[in-house]
Amino acid sequence: MKVNQFKWTQSKGWNPELTKGSDVSVLLVFGSRPQLQQSNILESLKSNFPQSIIIGGSTSGEILDNEVFDNSVVVTALTFEKTKIKLSFIPCDSNEKSFAAGEDLARNFEHSQLKHVLVMSNGLHVNGTELARGMSKVLPPNVAVTGGLAGDAADFTETYVVTNEIQSSVGVAAIGLYGDNLNINYGSAGGWRSFGPERTVTKSEGSTLYELDENNALDLYKIYLGDKQKELPGSALLFPLMITRADETKGLVRTILSVDDTKQSMTFAGDISQGATAQLMRANTENLIEGASDAAKACVLESSIYNGDQLAILVSCVGRKLVMKQRVEEEVEIVKEIIGDNTKIAGFYSYGELAPYENNESCELHNQTMTITLISES
């Protein structure tokens, strides 16, 4: 496998200059929403890489090597020697359609020799939990799914998924990777710490939360936010919830996508199961860097001998970026330190991360994590 990378900014254009690549298998395109909406960006990619599959979307920050950027477009060109790629795209414009969208997305892939599925979903019109469940229901149990939900800085206004022919705010795209020579490893970790009392979810519908301990959940949340409640939903990224389902011991972090003051509700990126326990979480920069380190170590534990280049795709939650502020690059630097200087790095800050909780488990929606997918060929 061969990896080439490019970055576009308004002031400097492409760096390095795009060079025509008829043998490039796939282009991973991560960029800020305003930049991706400029038609010349995708047109120049299609012109220079006419045979390549394009998949990507809008972000809350772009990752290239050990740096984090805003208002740019980061492109990673992958040329596989033995691995085959197939693209799938399904419209999904509401939470209620997410499970079916996941099923349909997975059905578009021939399952023979399918090794891995990489997903890019819109970030605002999807229930990531149900999307992952739908895909896991259809895919063979040995096929892992990783990826993320698109972002738009921390505006929560509109996110985009892009492919060769589509630029959609209400879609989900994925690529299936086929072949016995493909090596895939992944890891996901957070670094957030729970605080305050555990409360029971007493009223919820799908990903929408109404009551905790039979009290209005939005009112309780606003008490913790104090003056920052005026900045909802963005300020909620600083205080996610740990949700532990009644029948499980492992919890998953959930982040608010929107609030409805009329209905007195909060909508999250994934399911909030009635009867589950909920607890507020917080973090500091050191905790989050430690979480990124744990995710990288999980990848290295399972790393494979490979030929050519190796790529690490980093999907990290925008909430982590807001907490770390000017120190955000430190979590990328620790990942690079652990996985090695010879590994190329690309990625983005997201509204949700998709990965198995642990190896050999089904894909789950995560929030507030660093999720890493390591790709190479042997």
Distance CA 364, CA 326 (A): 29
Q: What is the pLDDT of residue 291?
A: 95
User: How do residues 339-368 score in pLDDT, each as one tens digit?
Assistant: 998 999 999 999 999 999 776 678 999 989
Q: What is the pLDDT of residues 151-186, one digit of tens each?
A: 999 899 999 999 998 889 999 999 999 999 999 999
- Per-residue pLDDT averaged across 234-242, rounded? 85
Question: What pLDDT was estimated at residue 360?
Answer: 64
The larger pLDDT score, comparing residue 20 to residue 275, is at 275
The pTM of the full predicted model, rounded to 2 decimals, is 0.93
**Confidence grade of residue 304 (pLDDT, cut at 50, 70, 90):** low
Question: For residue 303, is pLDDT > 70?
Answer: no
pLDDT grade, residue 201 (50/70/90)?
very high
Q: Are 288 and 321 in contact (CB under 8 A)?
A: no
Domain locations along the chain? 2-189+286-377, 193-280
pLDDT surpassing 80 at residue 244: yes
> Mean pLDDT across the chain, nearest whole number?
92
Residues 314/276, Cβ–Cβ less than 8 Å: no
Q: Could you tell me the pLDDT band of residue 235, with boundaries at 50, 70 and 90?
A: confident
b/e code 292-327 from CB counts within 10 Å (16+ = b): bbbbbbbbeeeeeebeebbbbbbbbbbbbbbbbeee
Q: What is the pLDDT of residues 30-76, one digit of tens each?
A: 999 999 988 789 999 999 999 999 999 999 999 999 999 999 999 99
C-alpha triplet 293, 150, 82: angle, nearest 5°: 70
Q: Taking 70 as the threshold, does the pLDDT of residue 302 lie above it?
A: no
Cα gap 118→308, rounded to integer Å: 21
Question: Of 227 and 28, which is predicted with more confidence?
Answer: 28
309 pLDDT higher than 80: yes
Q: Can you name the residues that pair with 301 across neighbouring β-strands?
A: none
